[in-house]
Amino acid sequence: MKRILNAVLNEKPKKIVLDTDTYNEVDDQFAVAYAMLSPELEILSLNAAPFLNNRSVSAEDGMEKSFEELQRITALTNPNHNIPILRGSRSFMTGAKNPVDSPAAQNLINTVKSLPDGERLYVVVIGAATNVASAILTAPEIKDRITVVWLAGHAYMSAHPQEFNMHGDLAAAQVLFDCGVPLLQIPCDGVCSELTTTIPELDFYLKGKNELCDYLCDIVRGYSHDTFAWSKVIWDVSAIACLILPDSMSRVILPAPAVLDRFYSFDAGRHQYIYVRKLYRDVIFRDLFRKLAEK
């Protein structure tokens, strides 16, 4: 695991697949643009992930809306891009042994198998892990060629660690935490919750810089009905920052917990993984705002 951590911190450029429920909120759009504007990363594909909340009527509807939003945000970031955008799972997993087939899962398998010997793929997951867990269950051999960076769960000390991404597909979460794939977890409350911004700050650094920046400012402004003295967490940019800004995070190698219905279960004998315990907000936003404004 120390070798994997060293690669996460030092390997450049990194080949990534970004798996995202892009329409779920307003933070995925920042993360997709951030990844596309970071020369430290080579994006091999963008995968739409399923989600279900008040912005979708089903997991499939959430995935389709994410697919459409991926097309929108990538066109704003670089209309000449040639990054494949794939539809993901149309439902969540019904159990930890029940993969859901999708173009995204199949493409991930094929991408890993086509890598030159010795190269590693970073699979960045900023939504439910359905697509990635399904690919691992379908072709377990890909575990040896990938590192999964997943924004999910809350910090260990949280009373309720099951946040949106993890609870959305609990079976997929169990696959990632149990299968032994090299895994870096970025918790939400208690870690990513540091990444807050405000409309005045966004307007100061981004508004009027370009069409992409205006779109990002507008979707944040439209997210809340009451924006007086209001701030918004831009959770998902942390998963990109952890790959390109080693100084943006504090991390530790720990035994991977088991993920139960509403809690973590700890056993010192389990395989190790990388747990991000702190993020440095200013380092991340400084890099993010500069890249967005200067695109």
Asked whether residue 187 carries a pLDDT value surpassing 90, the answer given is: yes
What is the pLDDT, as a whole number, of residue 159? 66
Render pLDDT for 192-204 as a digit per residue (tens, 0 to 9): 999 999 999 999 9
Render pLDDT for 109-142 as a digit per residue (tens, 0 to 9): 999 999 999 899 999 999 999 999 999 999 999 9
What is the pLDDT, as a whole number, of residue 132? 98
Cβ-based neighbours of 280, under 8 Å, separated by 6 or more: 194, 247, 248, 249, 250
What is the pLDDT, as a whole number, of residue 7? 72
Render pLDDT for 249-277 as a digit per residue (tens, 0 to 9): 999 999 999 998 778 899 999 999 999 99
What is the pLDDT, as a whole number, of residue 51? 98
- Mean pLDDT of the region 146-156: 95
Asked whether residue 5 carries a pLDDT value surpassing 80, the answer given is: no
What is the pLDDT, as a whole number, of residue 134? 98
Say how many C-beta atoms besides its own lie within 10 A of residue 138's C-beta: 15
Asked whether residue 186 carries a pLDDT value surpassing 70, the answer given is: yes
With residue 250 as reference, give the H or E element that holds it: strand 249-255
Cα–Cα distance list, 29 to 23, 74, 126, 218, 249 (Å): 8, 9, 11, 12, 21
What is the pLDDT, as a whole number, of residue 8? 76
Q: What is the pTM of this model?
A: 0.96
Render pLDDT for 202-253 as a digit per residue (tens, 0 to 9): 999 999 999 999 999 999 999 998 989 999 999 999 999 999 998 999 999 9
281 DSSP assignment: H
What is the pLDDT, as a whole number, of residue 135? 98
The CATH number assigned to the domain with range 2-293 reads: 3.90.245.10
Query: Where are the domains positioned within the chain?
Result: 2-293
What is the pLDDT, as a whole number, of residue 271? 96
Asked whether residue 10 carries a pLDDT value surpassing 90, the answer given is: no
Best CA proximity match to 234, nearest among 38, 61, 33: 33
Residue 161's pLDDT band (boundaries 50, 70, 90)? low
Beta bridge partners of 19: 47, 125
- Mean pLDDT of the region 162-166: 87
What is the pLDDT, as a whole number, of residue 205? 98
Question: Please, are residues 35 and 243 in contact by the beta-carbon 8 Å criterion?
Answer: no
Render pLDDT for 42-52 as a digit per residue (tens, 0 to 9): 999 999 999 99
